[in-house]
Amino acid sequence: MTHLLSKSKYIRGLQCERALWLDVHEPRLARYTAEQMRRFDRGRDYEYAFRSRFPDGIDLSAELGRNVDAYPARTAELLDLRPCSAAKTVLFEAGFQYDDVLVLADVVCQREDGSLDIYEVKSGTTLSDTYRRDAALQHYVISHCRPVHSFSIVYNGAPASCRPDAIEGAGKMPALQDGRFAIVDLTAELAAEGDRIAANIAEMKTIVRATAEPDTPTGQHCLTPYACPYQHHCQQGVRQLSLFG
């Protein structure tokens, strides 16, 4: 089943409806700086470091690559094998789809009762509002597909003295040795965002389905919370108007 929205497109839509439309219809126009690409690489490396604490985890991206619309069915297949297997199921990049939104969860651990412990891994050093919004969308989608026991954000903010011994349940994590990982359980907070998430999704689907590009003007929102990769495109339009208007 194909999808309309993803985590990244949802966050983009919260920042700017024009950027969301371009992300869906004209992604070739995006331009990323070298620093943005380095940040992506740092995030990936940090996620892999956290993954290493689950040596038996199954990486769906290694199997399915960019065929993202195949992730939910494969995820369901692996999770449904749980009653037939004595091994605990731990998945990386597990896919879930609901209400035309596809999310890929960084680390998913299935408990004995079938419920899920989910870990969203971020390399930033603070627990930002954007991280929370990203997690809230994931919780909304996943909780409509499977029972969620807990949803935590893992970020690079743990002091040396903050070294939790383990995570309970399936996918139990060994003691942290270097203090790199701060783990914050936001399950209750995220569950309370359901109505807001549903309303945002409905609005964004209307934007995505429109045939015409929104005429949102440039402004401070082009830089917050992230520098928009479509700034050059929108600013080009402004320059043309100033020359010929």
Task: Convert the pLDDT of each residue in 38-63 to its tens digit.
Answer: 999 999 999 999 999 999 999 999 99
Which tens digit of pLDDT belongs to each residue from 126-164?
Answer: 999 999 999 999 999 999 999 999 999 999 875 543 433
**Token pair recorded at residue 203:** 């609005």
pLDDT of residue 2: 87
Buried b (16+ CB within 10 A) or exposed e, 159-171: eeeeeeeebebbb
Domains of the chain, by residue range, sit at 5-244
pLDDT of residue 175: 33
Which tens digit of pLDDT belongs to each residue from 96-108?
Answer: 999 999 999 999 9
The model's pTM: 0.86
In the predicted structure, residue 85 carries a pLDDT above the cut 80:
no
Say what percent of the chain tops pLDDT 90: 78
Beta-bridge mates of residue 6: 102
Q: Please report which confidence band the pLDDT of residue 236 belongs to, taking 50, 70 and 90 as the band edges.
A: confident
Mean pLDDT of the chain: 87
8 Å CB contact between 60 and 74: yes
Q: What is the rounded average pLDDT of the residues 50-78?
A: 95
Q: How far is CA 91 from CA 51, 77, 110, 127, in A?
A: 10, 12, 9, 24
For residues 216 and 18, what is the distance between their CA atoms, to the nearest angstrom? 6
pLDDT of residue 167: 41
Q: What is the rounded average pLDDT of the residues 194-207?
A: 98
Question: 2.40.160, 2.60.40, 3.30.70, 3.90.320: which CATH number matches 5-244?
Answer: 3.90.320
Q: How far is CA 212 from CA 26, 30, 183, 232, in A?
A: 12, 18, 42, 19
In the predicted structure, residue 83 carries a pLDDT above the cut 70:
no
Q: Please report which confidence band the pLDDT of residue 70 belongs to, taking 50, 70 and 90 as the band edges.
A: very high
Which tens digit of pLDDT belongs to each residue from 162-200?
Answer: 433 334 444 444 333 346 889 999 999 999 999 999 999
Rounded to 10 degrees, the C-alpha dihedral 111/167/94/11 comes to 130
pLDDT of residue 171: 43
Beta strand 58-59 pairing with 90-98: parallel
